[in-house]
Chain A
Amino acid sequence: MGPPSVEFAAVTKHYGRASQGRAALADVGFRVERGAFSLLLGPSGAGKSTLLKLVLAMEHADEGTIRVAGRDIDRLRKASIPFLRRNVGAVFQDFKLLPEASPLENVALALRVLGAPSREIHERSAHALRLVELDPEIRRPSRCLSGGEQQRVAIARALAGDPAILLADEPTGNLDPRLTQEILDLLGAICRRGTTVVLATHDPLVRERVRFDQELHLQAGVLVFDSTVGGNAKLAETRRKLGAVA
């Protein structure tokens, strides 16, 4: 079975001084099991992006413990963080692609950092693009692709290094309903291949459009619902916390 892919224990994160304003995340605790599809729901500003940044070690928690694939990331040396990120693919609403580079070049970037040979980079990049149903032979700059295609390129890049975990932060935020469904289906297929998927979205309708194993609700930095924990009691407790920090 192995350790959970992601585990938060009493995690609190403030931006700026802890004494000023409310916490971006307050006493958040949950676990995402290996191979699970976890849906992280919450309105804008609820702390979803902060949570994902903490998993990627782009931010550091003020309190609590975060484990990714069993490793306490606060104890990681600075030099080890890139190696953590190679095991955690990430997709964002704004795609984060090099606009002038072709899809293949964008995907190849994730493999160049591994020091892979050129031929292997080409083969694995092409394979990742085919996985997301894109033609590796597309030579156009990525900025000339549709939003859906750009997001597929971003997902292919996140998958190219064969990560154990895929984090998706509002990946459908810029897409129309048809493309949204395509991307959600793609994320579902990726999860069925064995990759743990954490999908953060503000759109509650996504619940009806994708099969998921776990549902987490964030509100004002507080985890108010975790479908894997005894529902009502937990909900009451977290609502009480929410009242305390609001």
Chain B
Amino acid sequence: MTSALSVLRAAGYSIRRGLQGMRETPLVQLLAVATTAVCMLLLAVIVLAWLNVRGVFQGFGVDVPIAIYLAEGAPEEDVQQLRARLEALPEVDRVELVEAEAAMQRLADGLGGERSLLEGIDAKILPRTLELHLDPEVPEIFSHALAQRLEGFAAVDEVALAGAWATQAHTLIDTLGHLVLWAALLVALASIAIVWNTIRLAVYARRAEVHILRLVGGTTRFVRGPFLVEGALQGALGAAVALGLVYVGFRAIEPFLREGLSFVFAASSLRFFFPSEVLVGVALGAGVGVVGSRIAAGRSIEQ
């Protein structure tokens, strides 16, 4: 209990001293946060573009290579039997049964702001669907062969294959995903370098204090704590500023995108980051700041 309280008190000291350290050098902090924000702005734009492109393609159904539209009034027993047989195929990854209401909800979600177009339409006009997700290694020829066989079943009304364009869409999403990863890595490295440099200066400016703390028995964690807080705040603020700027930019161009690409965004609503994603972004910024400050306050603190 006493030990836990001591840790809490040490954490409290780290936060107070970290904030005080930032107040002592406002210009340096401003520069660090601004440059970190510029780096993270780039990443935020790429991630947002990737999320929206992926959303558009998902709206068009690229994630479902084979959609089996069930015949109206098909007996439940036949449907379940068909599902069980499909699930038993080694090439099939999973099978999902989508009810008409769920399909209507998806359609409404895809239309986003235009969902009012569906008002008054009964969900029952949409067929029940079995969505087949195949193993990624399965060749395209298998999809065609399976579709042909499935059309012979009484419970099946129609089979839709996503086709070659879905493969290309996947490739595009994957490429963008890789771009996001590389951008994230570069931005993380650049942000770490910025925070590292700032904290290194802070450690140098407060070297007398660090020396005294070591002299009176401060543990490495205790001495390092305020610098980690400082770095975490720099990273978090940089990420928050970047996300704020992206939000302003997004709201500014959103009407033009909707108007110019109305066909594309009819299938998937153009969107900004969800609040939870914003929190994750800020937390990642803080994490990057911690890494940068941890490296900067490494050896010099331990001596």
Contact = CB atoms under 8 A, between A and B. Distances in A.
Interface of A: 56, 58, 78-79, 82-86, 90, 96-98, 109-110, 112-118, 157-158, 161
B6 interface: yes
A90 B211 CA distance: 12
Contacts of B220: 79, 82
Given A115-B5, A115-B7, A85 B217 contact: yes
Which of the listed residues B6, B212, B214, B216 has the most CB atoms from chain A within 10 Å of its own CB? B216
Nearest to A111: B216
A121 B218 CA distance: 15
B214 A109 contact: no
A56 B215 contact: yes
Interface string B36-66: 0000000000000000000000000000000
A183 B221 CA distance: 34
Nearest to A80: B219
Contacts of B13: 112
Contacts of B216: 85-86, 109-110, 113, 157-158, 161
The SS class assigned to the B binding surface is helix
A129 to B, nearest CB: 15
Given A96-B208, A113-B222, A82 B9 contact: no
B215 A90 contact: yes
A161 B217 contact: yes
Interface of B: 5-7, 9-10, 13, 208-209, 211-220, 222, 302
Contacts of B219: 79, 82, 113
B208 A98 contact: yes
A120 to B, nearest CB: 10
5 contacts: A82-B214, A82-B217, A113-B216, A113-B222, A157-B216
Contacts, number: 56
A141 B126 CA distance: 79
Contacts of B6: 114-115
A235 B148 CA distance: 107
A81 B214 CA distance: 9
B2 to A, nearest CB: 8
Nearest to A97: B212
Contacts of B208: 96, 98
The CB with the most chain B CB atoms within 10 A, among A82, A117, A161, is that of A82
A83 B214 CA distance: 10
Contacts of A110: 216-217
Given A113-B217, A114-B217, A161-B217, A96 B10 contact: no
Nearest to B4: A115
Given A109-B216, A157-B216, A96 B211 contact: yes
Given A96-B208, A98-B208, A98-B209, A115 B215 contact: no
Nearest to B2: A115
Contacts of B222: 82, 113
A189 to B, nearest CB: 21
B13 to A, nearest CB: 6
A175 B219 CA distance: 32
Given A58-B215, A85-B217, A113-B216, 7 more contacts: A82-B218, A82-B220, A86-B216, A109-B213, A113-B217, A115-B6, A117-B5
A114 B218 CA distance: 8
The 6 closest A-B pairs by CB, nearest first: A115-B6, A86-B217, A85-B217, A110-B216, A113-B218, A82-B217
A158 B212 CA distance: 11
Contacts of B218: 82, 113
B212 A109 contact: yes
Contacts of A78: 302
A116 B216 CA distance: 14
A220 to B, nearest CB: 27
